Every structure is written in C-alpha cells, then in structure tokens.
Structure 1
Amino acid sequence: MKISFKKLSIYMLFSLVVSIFVCVEFIKFTAPIMEKFMMEENINLIKIQVTGIILIFSSITVFIFTFLFLINRKAKYINYISKEVKKIKSEGFGRTIELRGKDELTELCMSINEMSLELKERIENEKKIEKNKNELITNISHDLKTPLTSIIGYLELLNAKKVDEENKDEYVKIAYNKSLRLRTLVNELFEYTKLNSTDIKIQKVKFNISALINQIVGESIIDFSEKDIEVRLENPYKELNSFIDKKLIYRVFENLMKNAQKYSDPNSLFLVIVEENNTNITISFINKCEEIQEDDLDKIFEKFYRIDEARSSENEGAGLGLAIAKKIVELHDGELLVKKLNENIEFKIILNKA
C-alpha cells in the first residue's frame, strides 16, 4: 500500500517531532540539576516524588508550548479562513481569501475563491438573463401589438360589411401585408431565441465562401437598384474555404445586405470586399449612410435596437437582424465588427480559413 503524505500532515508531523525533541533536550538539561539536588543528605522520599512530578510537568509544558508555537501560524490561518467564509456568506459572493503558503489550506482557499467568483458570475448571469427576458417580453409585446392591432382593425371592418367594394380589396391587401410583417417578426424572435439557447449545435462543413458571397450579392442587385444604389463586388478569389454552417452564414450575409439596403443613402455605392491572409477570410460590407452616427455603433448589435427615424417603417423587422448575425459569427469562432468611415459604415466579418 502506497502512503501519500500531504504537506499539511507532514508539517504537523514535523511540529510533533520537533516538540518531542525539544522536550527530550529539556529533560537532558534539567536531569543533572535534579540529580544533584537529590544527592543532598537531607533529601527524603517526598522531595524525590515532588521533584519527579515537577520534572514531568515541566517537560509536558515545554512539549505543549513548543507544539502550539509551531502550529500557531496554521491555527491563525484556519481562524482567518473561517472568518472570511462568514464574510462571504454575509456580504455576498465575489469576495476572495488571501492565499498564504503552498499547502492544503492554500488549496482549500483557492477552491473557496474559485467557488465564490463562479457563484458571483452565475448570479450576475441569472440577473442578466432575467433582465433580458423582461426586455424580450416588453419588446415582443410592442412589436407584435402594432401589426396585430392593424390586422384586427381591418378584419373587423371587413367582417362588419361596412366597406364598399372599392376599398375592400385595398383593406384585404393591407391586412395581408400586416400579417406577413407579423410572420417576419415571429420568425426573427424564434431564430434569436434558438441561437441563444445553451444547447445550440451548428453543422459545420468545408464550404467555398467565395461562391456563397458571389451568389447572394448577385441575387440582391435588383433590390438595391430600386433605390439607385450601385452594387460593386471586389472578390478576386474563385475558392476560399472555411468550415461553416452554410444556412447560418448565408443568413449573416443576407442580414447585412438587407441592413445596407435599408440604411444606404439613395444614389450611393454599396461595396463588398473579400480578402484573405494566412489564417482568416475577411468580408467587408461598406455603404454610405449619414443617418447612422458614431454613437449608434455602440448599440448597433444590441437586440431590438433600431435607428429612431426608421422605427416606424413598415419594412422594419424586430431589430434583431444584426444581433442574430453577430451571434452566428461568434458560433463560428469568428468576429463581426463595425466602424464608421467618414460618411460610410463598414461591417467586417472575420472567419477562420479551412
């Protein structure tokens, strides 16, 4: 059987051995004195017994004091740990204990510190989740109420048969468009919730990013032309591979293209640039947008954030497009960055090369 001596046990054993050694040395030192004392002619049995008791008591006292002196530092540290644990209990998690030495007590303190910090982080995350949940409910209620109220209003008019034939088709068309907007909002909310769940799994495969960006830019040219926006793609690569979930990355490109389409100034240029280096693939989306200011960039990836002037737009989503895009890119261990370039705004996707 292999015996493993821990550091604290070894220290206690060392303290015990040293105490015994000091006690023995004390006896060696006092024994000649006692022997000389007992050699006196008038010594009697009672004096011998008293002297022996004094010697034994003194030796035990020396042993106890020596042992307590050696373990006093550890005892104080244990007492300190006990007080600090009580403070953690009363003041809240996040407080840490000072580390002293390199024995099991230090390891215990390290474990307590890790537990305290981890529990604090969990509590803060739970508070954040609760806050996000409340914000989600509030924004869902606001975003769903508007089109739903309109749909109900127009359907009530149609149901009451108080609408003449001239306006009937128009009301039906409006109610239909409102229902499509409602479906878009629900789909965005569902997608955002799904992407932020803890058990989300993505199916990564090796795929040609260059071909994918060529496809989606080509499909979007007509939409941009309605606002007289020129689309220019600078992609000299026939093949740039990365391990991606094709559907999700397509969604990222689509969200950024739609965002550029909504916020680009009329008669401007929308530029998509594809670049690479030894480790990464970079796709930049640059469009002219005087409406978005530098202050907006700090909040632009927050869920439900929209530019105030465009909030009432019928084509506006739930304000989740960029939040969804950023989350997807992060699930691919990439980055989605944004910056203002004079009158232009640039969104840059950085993905790992295969």
Structure 2
Amino acid sequence: MLYKLSIRHVQRSLRMQLMLTFGICLLAGLLTYGISSNLFGEMKQLAVIDYKYGIERIDNETRGLVNELSALQKQTDMAGSESEGGRPEFFENHVNWMNDQKFKVLITDLEGRVVYRSQNAAETNVEIHNVISNAMNARTDQDYGRKEFSSFYPVNYMGQKSYLIVSGIPEPHITYRKGQSPLSLLIAVAAFILLFYFMTQKKMRHVEELASGLRVIATGNLDYRVIERSQDELGSLARDLNFMAEDLQKRMEEERRNERLKRELITNVSHDLRTPLTLIMGYLRLLQDKGYETPEQAASYVSIAYNKSEKLKLLIDDLFEYTKLSNRDVPLYKEGVAINELLDQLLEEFVTPAEEQQLTINRTIPKERLLVRIDVDKMIRVLENLMGNALKYSLKPGSITVTLRHDYRYVTVQVSNQAEWLSDDALQQLFDRFYRVDTARSSHTGGSGLGLAIAKSIVESHEGAIWAEQSGGQIHFFVKLKLV
C-alpha cells in the first residue's frame, strides 16, 4: 500500500521525478567511477617504499622483550628475591640479537635516566616526551620516511617502574599501490550525463510538444489540443493549455456572436424606430399642409400620430431599460414577498384577456407562503412578459398552465402553453435582444423584441435563472428564485 502511494506521489510530482532521476544517475556515476578506478588502478600500479612492516617488526620485538621482562619479574616474585643481578640469559641473547639487527635497546627510569642499554647505545638520558611523540607519529604517518623509529612500552625492571625503548631504522619494503587516472572521473561524469539525458528525454519531448502546441494555438488555431501524457505538473500544464484554448474559442465565438447581435441591434433599432417615426412625420406633414377635409379627419391624424409616438416611446424606454439592466445600473429595491400570493393576484388580471382570446388559465399554486426577496415591480414585469407572450403566441382555442413548485432552497414558476414547434436554435435565441420568432419582424405583431431579454436581465440580477423548454407541442418558460 505504501509502495503504491509512493509511486502515485512520484507520478504526480515532476520535482520528485527529477530528484529520483538525479539520484539514480548519481548512483550509477559513483558505481561507474568505482569500477573504472579499480580497473585503471590495476592497470597502472605504482611502486612505493613502505616502512610500516619495519615499524611493526620493531614493535613486535619490543613486545617480545616486554614479555621476557614480565616473565623475569614473575620468577623474581616467586623466589622472593629482589636481587638486582640477574638478567636471564634468554633476555641478553635477545638484546644481542637486536643489537646485531642495529636496534638500540634502552631501559630508563620514570625520569628518563638510562638504567640499562645495549652495546650499540651510548645514551645516558632520554627525553621521554620526544620518544612518546616519535612512537605516536610513526603509527599515524602514512608517508613515514627512512628515519629512526622508537617503540615505547612501560615495564617493571628490577622491581622498579621503568620504560623500555627500542630504536632503529625500519626495514623498507616495496609495495604496489593502485594508480589513479583522470579517465575514471571522465567516464563517471559521462555515464551520469548520458543516463540523465536518456532518462529525461521523454519529459523533454513532452515539454517540446507543449511548446509546439502553444505556438500552434498562438497562431489562432483554437481547435488544436495538446495530448495529456502524464499526471504531473506537465500534464496539468497540458490540461490548462487545452482549457485556455477552449475558453478562448468560446470567448471568440461569444465575441463574434455579440458582434452579430450588435449589428442586428443597430438594424433592428433603426427599423423599429424608423417605422413609427415615418408614420408620425407623414401625418404631421398632412396636418401642416392642411391635407385633411374635415376636422374629424384631422383629429384622426393627430390620434394616429400620438399612438405611434407612444409606441416609439415604449420602444425607446425598453431599449434604455435593457441597456441599464445589462450594465447593472438599475438599483433593486428588494423586499420579502410571498411569491405564491403575488402570482395569484397577477393571474387574476389575465383571466379576462385570456377569455377574450379563447384561452383558459389553469393554475397550480400551493397555499403556504413561499417568501422570496425580490424587487416587486421588476419581477411583476417578468411575469407579465411571460403571460403576455403566452397569450400572444398560444394556439387558439387553448389553455395556459401556470405551476409553482418549490424545494427547501428554491422556488420555480412554470408558464406553459401550446405553440408552434420551434427549432433548437430558435429556442436558444428567445432571450436574445430584438429576437422574434416571426421572421417578418413586425413590431405590431411581435412587440419590441426586448421583453424576454429584459426579463432575463431582471431575473439574473436577482441571482436567479430563466430558461425555456418544449415538449408535447407545448413551450415551457421557467423562472427559478432563491427562497428566503
């Protein structure tokens, strides 16, 4: 389990992968260095003079004398004699043999005064500190040269505490050391670099692929997608690049759509403003030129011009309000309202107009108070717009169904009516500004084309949602708001 978690962690972290790769390459480099050093060392051995064997020999002989003196002391203790005379023959023979080997043997008291010496020794006093320093340095010096070595041991001589000192030139021996070659280091470095190169080659290809993909996207090909080859930071970068390309593509499509809507807006506004304005100017010209026969006809011209000016004012007001709502410039005066009571009262106002158009209104509204925090005037306009569209576009005779549903967080108003089947594109564009299902674009039959766009802006300013669906020959409008 721990192994799998570690593998997963390494797969998700580029830093860990690089650290692991570096460690493997370093270990391989050290191993290569060790093997090549041993190989080149065997091929290129160096002859050196080694005095350590001679030092050990002097030291061993000294320890032999120490053992002989210890044996002599034991014999003296057992015999109960403290005679200073007798040094055993084997001790003297050993000292003479060492004398023949050109080793000096000295025995001193604790102050360094010589109490016994071999024939080739002339010292009468010894500096104990120097002897100890010589013995210690010789044992630790890796490059000990040809110089006198002193082996130093404490002994018991003739019943007194003393020091045994054996001095001599160590015997040299020729030994062979493994040589060193700069090729070992070069081979190790080369092994590290090559292994690191091959182990990171896959990641580098991935980086180059990401860079190439970014250049393709930068040229404007937003349909291009890079391949996500790993779970680490490079894979995350690939996902971010794809997300960026997709987001840019959506933004550019939205900009193109907004540009198209802007052109349509200019065309629609020009058309809808020009039509009533042309009529107004025509009737006013008739009045100015006295182009009427009776006062009643003149009054009719004035009435028509006035009605057209009212429609022109309504269109300008809708356009102005939509612009302010889209830019969030209209303040909202929210208050807690029971949406079921508000909807019930509003539907009563539409009963008579519905009957006049051979339509019946069916409602399903719960009795419990469902409180929402809304700007009442703005929300009434939304509901009036939905009911107005239902009256205008319902198949006659027919019915309009209004349903209010809720859960523990939201309340949803549904307005449904039988209508002609719309294409998916037409259904999606219902809330676009100046969009009319009627392709003839008559403001007399289709209104200003801003009603649903204004309704959408109002609902979204209340942090709600509004949308349309169709099924079974009916079109359904939904308004979803948060409960208090």
1:155–1:175 Cα contact (<8 Å) kept: yes
- Partner in structure 2 of residue 293 of structure 1: 420
Shift of 1:316: 4.3
Classify the secondary structure of the residue corresponding to 1:243: strand
- Using a 3 Å threshold, how does the CA distance of structure 1 residues 188 and 53 change in structure 2: closer, same or farther? same
2:333 paired with 1:333: no
| C-alpha distance in structure 2 between counterparts of 1:120 and 1:347, whole Å | 30
1:181–1:315 Cα contact (<8 Å) kept: no
- Using a 3 Å threshold, how does the CA distance of structure 1 residues 316 and 88 change in structure 2: closer, same or farther? closer
Q: What do residues 146-169 of structure 1 show as CA deviations (whole Å, max 9, x unaligned)? A: 111101111111122232323110
Shift of 1:174: 0.2
- Partner in structure 1 of residue 33 of structure 2: 27
1:143-154 correspondence runs (5 A) = 143-154=272-283
- Using a 3 Å threshold, how does the CA distance of structure 1 residues 196 and 84 change in structure 2: closer, same or farther? same
- Using a 3 Å threshold, how does the CA distance of structure 1 residues 127 and 108 change in structure 2: closer, same or farther? same
- Partner in structure 1 of residue 146 of structure 2: none
- Partner in structure 2 of residue 161 of structure 1: 290
Q: What do residues 292-340 of structure 1 show as CA deviations (whole Å, max 9, x unaligned)? A: 4113685252443435498546364112323433444455423443436
- Partner in structure 2 of residue 136 of structure 1: 265
State the one-letter code of the partner of 2:226: I
| C-alpha distance in structure 2 between counterparts of 1:318 and 1:234, whole Å | 30
1:209–1:240 Cα contact (<8 Å) kept: yes
Q: What do residues 252-279 of structure 1 show as CA deviations (whole Å, max 9, x unaligned)? A: 111122223334566x465453433434
Shift of 1:31: 2.7
2:147 paired with 1:17: no
State the one-letter code of the partner of 2:267: T
Identity %: 32
- Partner in structure 2 of residue 66 of structure 1: 195
Classify the secondary structure of the residue corresponding to 2:290: coil
Shift of 1:353: 3.5
State the one-letter code of the partner of 2:420: Q
- Report how many residues are paired: 336
1:190 aligned to 304, 308, 320, which one?
320
Classify the secondary structure of the residue corresponding to 1:275: strand
Unaligned segments of structure 2, at least 5 residues: 1-11, 48-178
1:202-221 correspondence runs (5 A) = 202=332, 204-221=334-351
| C-alpha distance in structure 2 between counterparts of 1:309 and 1:93, whole Å | 34
1:86-125 correspondence runs (5 A) = 86-125=215-254
2:431–2:456 Cα contact (<8 Å) kept: no
- Using a 3 Å threshold, how does the CA distance of structure 1 residues 338 and 200 change in structure 2: closer, same or farther? farther
Shift of 1:208: 0.8
Q: Judge which range, 78-87 or 196-205, deviates more.
A: 196-205
| C-alpha distance in structure 1 between counterparts of 2:24 and 2:32, whole Å | 12
- Using a 3 Å threshold, how does the CA distance of structure 1 residues 155 and 99 change in structure 2: closer, same or farther? same
2:464–2:479 Cα contact (<8 Å) kept: no
1:147–1:182 Cα contact (<8 Å) kept: yes
Shift of 1:61: 2.0
- Using a 3 Å threshold, how does the CA distance of structure 1 residues 185 and 15 change in structure 2: closer, same or farther? same
- Using a 3 Å threshold, how does the CA distance of structure 1 residues 251 and 224 change in structure 2: closer, same or farther? same
1:144–1:182 Cα contact (<8 Å) kept: yes
| Structure with greater Cα Rg | 2
| C-alpha distance in structure 1 between counterparts of 2:201 and 2:342, whole Å | 71
- Partner in structure 2 of residue 324 of structure 1: 454
Shift of 1:228: 5.7
State the one-letter code of the partner of 1:185: L
Classify the secondary structure of the residue corresponding to 2:264: helix
| C-alpha distance in structure 1 between counterparts of 2:39 and 2:445, whole Å | 106
Please give the root-mean-square deviation of Cα atoms over the aligned residues, in Å.
3.4
- Using a 3 Å threshold, how does the CA distance of structure 1 residues 218 and 17 change in structure 2: closer, same or farther? closer
| C-alpha distance in structure 2 between counterparts of 1:242 and 1:312, whole Å | 37
State the one-letter code of the partner of 1:77: H
- Using a 3 Å threshold, how does the CA distance of structure 1 residues 312 and 115 change in structure 2: closer, same or farther? closer
